[in-house]
A = this chain, B = another copy of it.
Amino acid sequence: MKVVETMVQIPLDLEKIRLDFPILHTTVNGKPLVYFDNGATTQKPLAVTRAIETYYNTYNSNVHRGVHTLSQKATIAYEESRTTVAGFINAKPEELIFTKGTTDAINLLAYTFGKQFIKEGDEIIISAMEHHSNIVPWQLCCEDRKAVLKVVPINDKGELEMGEYEKMLSDKTKLVAITYVSNTLGTVNPVKDIIALAHARNIPVMLDAAQAVQHIAIDVKELDVDFMAFSGHKLYGPTGIGALYGKESWLEQLPPYQGGGDMIKTVSFDKTVYADPPLRFEAGTPNIAGAIGMAAGVKYLIGIGLDKIATTERVLTEYALEQLSSIDGLRLIGTAEHRGPTFSFIIGNSHPTDVGELLDMQGIAVRTGHHCTQPLMDLFCIPGTARASLSFYNTPEEIDRLVDGIHKAMKLLKK
């Protein structure tokens, strides 16, 4: 597949789209920036920054319980943002809790679900490819509730061992918490099967969709998933905002997480009555600008077309895979059949940091290190990887620059 061929298959006018992202036109170390660290955080279209600016400059106000005009406007915008983000995954607004991000969402669930449903000896299932944010909250939960954390192993390609998973499910299992897409390996997990197998035993499933919502159109009803967590900042939105989706029937059963303003019906020193979901789980002044910005990001994506985004990313993925695989001495970590546009690699016995630095000198931003998946690094017996994670606004030429950059780095590192 040549670059020209590849470009023909891309259904988006990338040059035009890139105008929406001012940062893509900056330079790093004297070279035009190639931003391949989208797995860590995506860049923001002007639609997002402008929505935030408009909010602050024209209708900033605290939400809920205010009768004055600005407060009404801000409340309506905040609640409409909830509706927009919920609609994006085909959920009802009542089923969408705004959180600080994926990590906050998983902690919220681990605490409240743990408190309500997890008893001594119970089991929670995660996988070997989880991000620390989907490991540590469950470790803390299991420690607290004297429960057991079970880990689904993966094969050499970085795919879940579904047979092992099936065997792990038992009457002791109270929750399955697994990532939809691996942030390190790029693996897209068979979530439908994961959910079906768990539901066959009436076990609820939480998906860590931090690396999924920006690449795959998700319909929570069709998936029949019970809980799902994701971050705004990886979805072309602001930092400090994210969401936890939960089926109404589940959310109703969960006790509050944080206490404070907005999450209560009535407070007295003797007895406090909590509000219904989702407000029950949103204590304190929410990240109003964050929610508005997140909704603006979601609307921007819908405007471009989720199908076109998916096609573009598939083409880029194939091209990158082909190009990277052709580099002698480069080892891809994660070669799953079903994958997203995320490529972890190591070069000979080079340290990923060196590779990252030499690419940075050429204006190419990749992440290096363990990507918050230390257990996975231990499994592959490597200290870390360099990771190029792509977005629909990346171009085939940028992939060529990466390949050239890697060659140059290899030469310097004598690999």
Binding site for B on A (CB under 8 A): 22-23, 26, 28-29, 33, 35, 37, 40-41, 43-44, 48-49, 52-53, 56-62, 65-71, 100-104, 106-107, 110, 131-133, 135-140, 149, 151, 231, 233, 238-241, 256, 258-264, 266-269, 272, 283-290, 353, 356-357, 359-360, 364-369, 372, 374-375, 378
* Inter-subunit contact B68/A367 (CB<8 Å): yes
Assembly CA distance A357 to B60 (angstroms): 18
Chain B min CB distance to A11 (Å)? 26
Q: Which 10 A-B pairs have the closest CB atoms?
A: A103-B284, A240-B287, A136-B259, A133-B260, A103-B260, A40-B62, A68-B365, A240-B240, A261-B372, A107-B258
Contact of A287 among B100, B258, B269 (CB under 8 A): B100
Residues of B within 8 A of A289 (CB): 238-240
Assembly CA distance A22 to B58 (angstroms): 7
For A138, A240, A263, A283, which residue has the most chain B Cβ atoms within 10 angstroms? A240
Chain B min CB distance to A384 (Å)? 9
Residues of B within 8 A of A238 (CB): 56, 289
Contact of A268 among B53, B65, B366, B378 (CB under 8 A): B378
Once A69-B360, A267-B375 are accepted as A-B contacts, the answer to whether A137 and B23 lie under 8 Å apart by CB is: no
* Inter-subunit contact A240/B61 (CB<8 Å): no
Assembly CA distance A40 to B359 (angstroms): 47
* Inter-subunit contact B56/A356 (CB<8 Å): no
Once A267-B136, A365-B71 are accepted as A-B contacts, the answer to whether A285 and B37 lie under 8 Å apart by CB is: no
* Inter-subunit contact A43/B60 (CB<8 Å): yes
Chain B min CB distance to A366 (Å)? 7
Once A67-B360, A374-B267 are accepted as A-B contacts, the answer to whether A56 and B44 lie under 8 Å apart by CB is: yes
Chain B min CB distance to A98 (Å)? 9
Residues of B within 8 A of A133 (CB): 259-261, 283-284
Assembly CA distance A261 to B356 (angstroms): 20
Contact of A356 among B68, B107, B285 (CB under 8 A): B68
Chain B min CB distance to A299 (Å)? 17
Q: Given contacts A22-B58, A23-B56, A239-B289, list 15 more A-B pairs with CB under 8 A.
A: A23-B58, A23-B60, A41-B61, A62-B233, A68-B367, A100-B104, A104-B284, A131-B261, A135-B259, A135-B267, A136-B267, A231-B285, A240-B288, A241-B287, A268-B374
Assembly CA distance A360 to B259 (angstroms): 31
* Inter-subunit contact A258/B137 (CB<8 Å): yes
- Can you identify 21 A-B contacts, CB atoms within 8 angstroms? A22-B58, A28-B69, A37-B71, A41-B60, A41-B61, A44-B57, A49-B52, A49-B53, A66-B368, A103-B258, A103-B284, A107-B260, A131-B260, A133-B284, A136-B264, A136-B283, A151-B269, A239-B289, A240-B290, A268-B375, A290-B290
Chain B min CB distance to A253 (Å)? 17
Residues of B within 8 A of A29 (CB): 69
Residues of B within 8 A of A353 (CB): 67
Residues of B within 8 A of A260 (CB): 103, 106-107, 131-133, 136-137, 372
